[in-house]
């Protein structure tokens, strides 16, 4: 049994990871600020489910409050921290840039300061495929330069990676940063494409399709992502012990790992799969590319597979169907679904 501190535990990924760890018999303190970026009811319902499981405790706080975060960590004495809390969303970073600096930079700094005071087995920090920018060369490898972010969101996540590396070097903290590639599935966020597509198609409303549909994404089903993170938890980096395809730092027990299946899907095919799952056709509103967005993501998953003997493999058909089934069940009342989309 281990003790985990998970930031963003009421979020989409944090909730699923916490549930997995609790199911294994570990103790988890879930840290979340319940910010209103999207429907807070969804976040509270995720935490309510976690609170029914043995070993879970809730800490409601903002990561910007360094003293409270440090006190929670000091009392709980976690062996592993998984830092998932962040202000998400490429497009929203154009509207509200300050939220990204406060959460993704200041919040991450406070997590690192907290980690420095502990004797951690492993610190894991969430990053994003957005750090790669809009590049022609594919697939995206962890050793690629990430010096040209297109959005403030991507810039703050890249900065968080660099901050974590410096702390790993200075204080010997075994640290893994993982770059997520378009995660989807049950309990997903209302601001993400699949949620919006399902919501719109079910109501015969027009859905927005950016770059006139000429986009591709390396989609990762939530259970696959959680499995990958769970396996990485048991693989803390060690200085001077590289493996094949490694991004291991030459100066710190630190590495970055892509989590994606390495199988990009065309946006129009993704919409067609959603139509198939719902048994309805979509009404499409084709729009130009949005500021900060990228045309294609494509993960090189070789390092993940080398480290964990695992690679995400859930088919898009199975993943989309699972999301639609959850949506039908959770949003049986139309008013609640409408509120979720309206709030974001």
Tell me if 33 sits within 8 A of 60, measured CB to CB. Answer: yes
Tell me if 295 sits within 8 A of 289, measured CB to CB. Answer: yes
Rg, C-alpha atoms of the chain: 19
The CATH number of whichever domain residue 57 belongs to comes to: 3.40.50.720
What per-residue confidence (pLDDT) applies to 333?
58
Q: Is 123 helix (H, G, I), strand (E, B) or coil?
A: strand
Q: Is 341 helix (H, G, I), strand (E, B) or coil?
A: helix
Residue 33 forms part of a structural domain? yes
Q: Is 37 part of the annotated catalytic residue set? A: no
What per-residue confidence (pLDDT) applies to 291?
87
Distance from first CA to last CA of the chain, Å, rounded? 38
Q: Is 247 left (phi over 0), alpha (psi -120 to 50) or beta?
A: alpha
Give ∠ CA 167-129-38 in degrees, rounded to 5. Answer: 95
Output the six-digit token pair for 136.
């022609």
Q: What is the pTM of this model?
A: 0.94
Q: How far is C-alpha 271 from the geometric centre of its chain's CA atoms? A: 22
Residue 139 forms part of a structural domain? yes
3-state helix, strand, coil in the chain (%, to 5): 45, 15, 40
Residue 322 forms part of a structural domain? no
What per-residue confidence (pLDDT) applies to 136?
84
Q: Is 256 helix (H, G, I), strand (E, B) or coil?
A: strand
Q: Cis link prior to 139 (omega < 30° from 0)?
A: yes
Please pick, among 92, 132, 153, 167, the residue that the annotation labels catalytic.
153
Residue 331 forms part of a structural domain? no
Place of tokens 């944090």: 14
Nearest CA among 62, 57, 75, 178 for reference residue 111: 62
Tell me if 225 sits within 8 A of 13, measured CB to CB. Answer: yes
Residue 111 forms part of a structural domain? yes
What per-residue confidence (pLDDT) applies to 37?
93
Residue 235 forms part of a structural domain? yes
Residue 312 forms part of a structural domain? no
Domain count of the chain? Answer: 1
The answer to whether the Cα torsion of 172, 107, 8, 145 is positive or negative is negative
Nearest CA among 310, 293, 294 for reference residue 302: 310
Tell me if 245 sits within 8 A of 302, measured CB to CB. Answer: yes
Tell me if 208 sits within 8 A of 36, measured CB to CB. Answer: no
Helices (H) and strands (E) in the chain, counts: 13, 13
Q: H/E/C letters for each residue in 187-249?
A: CCCCCCHHHHHHHHHHCCCEEEEHHHHCCEECCEEHHHHHHHHHHHHCCCCCCCCCCCCCCCC
Output the six-digit token pair for 304.
């993940």
pLDDT along the chain (344 residues), means of 10: 97 98 98 95 97 98 97 97 94 90 97 96 97 91 92 96 98 98 97 95 95 95 98 96 94 98 94 97 94 91 97 96 96 60 50
Tell me if 258 sits within 8 A of 265, measured CB to CB. Answer: no
Give ∠ CA 158-163-164 in degrees, rounded to 5. Answer: 100
Output the six-digit token pair for 4.
């985990």
Output the six-digit token pair for 261.
């299946």
Range of the domain at 153: 3-183+220-259
Residue 302 forms part of a structural domain? no
Which element (helix H / strand E) includes 339?
A: helix 334-343
CA distance 50 to 45: 9
């Amino acid at each position: 049994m281990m003790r985990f501190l998970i930031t963003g535990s009421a979020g989409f990924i944090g909730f699923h990871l916490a549930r997995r760890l609790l199911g294994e018999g570990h103790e988890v303190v879930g840290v979340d600020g319940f910010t209103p970026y999207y429907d807070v009811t969804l976040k509270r319902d995720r935490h309510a489910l976690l609170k029914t499981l043995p070993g879970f405790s809730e800490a409601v706080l903002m990561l910007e409050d360094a003293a409270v975060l440090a006190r929670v960590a000091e009392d709980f004495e976690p062996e592993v921290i998984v830092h998932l809390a962040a202000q998400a969303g490429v497009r929203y970073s154009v509207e509200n840039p300050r939220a990204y600096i406060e959460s993704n930079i200041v919040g991450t700094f406070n997590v690192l300061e907290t980690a420095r005071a502990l004797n951690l087995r492993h610190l894991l920090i969430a990053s994003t495929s957005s750090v790669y920018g809009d590049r022609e060369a594919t697939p995206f490898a962890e050793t690629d330069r990430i010096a040209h972010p297109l959005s403030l969101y991507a810039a703050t996540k890249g900065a968080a990676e660099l901050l974590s590396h410096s702390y790993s070097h200075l204080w010997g903290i075994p640290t893994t940063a993982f770059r997520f590639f378009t995660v989807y599935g049950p309990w997903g966020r209302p601001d993400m494409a699949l949620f919006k597509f399902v919501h719109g198609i079910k109501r015969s409303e027009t859905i927005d399709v950016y770059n006139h549909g000429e986009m591709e994404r390396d989609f990762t089903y939530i259970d696959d992502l959680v499995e990958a993170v769970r396996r990485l938890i048991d693989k803390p980096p060690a200085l001077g012990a590289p493996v094949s395809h490694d991004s291991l730092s030459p100066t710190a027990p630190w590495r970055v790992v892509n989590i994606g299946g390495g199988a990009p899907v065309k946006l129009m095919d993704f919409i067609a799969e959603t139509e198939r799952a719902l048994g309805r056709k979509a009404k499409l509103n084709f729009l130009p590319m949005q500021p900060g967005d990228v045309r294609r993501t494509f993960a090189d998953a070789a390092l993940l597979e080398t480290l964990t003997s695992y690679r995400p493999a859930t088919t898009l058909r199975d993943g989309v169907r699972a999301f639609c089934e959850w949506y039908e069940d959770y949003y049986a009342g139309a008013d609640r679904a409408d509120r979720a989309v309206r709030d974001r």
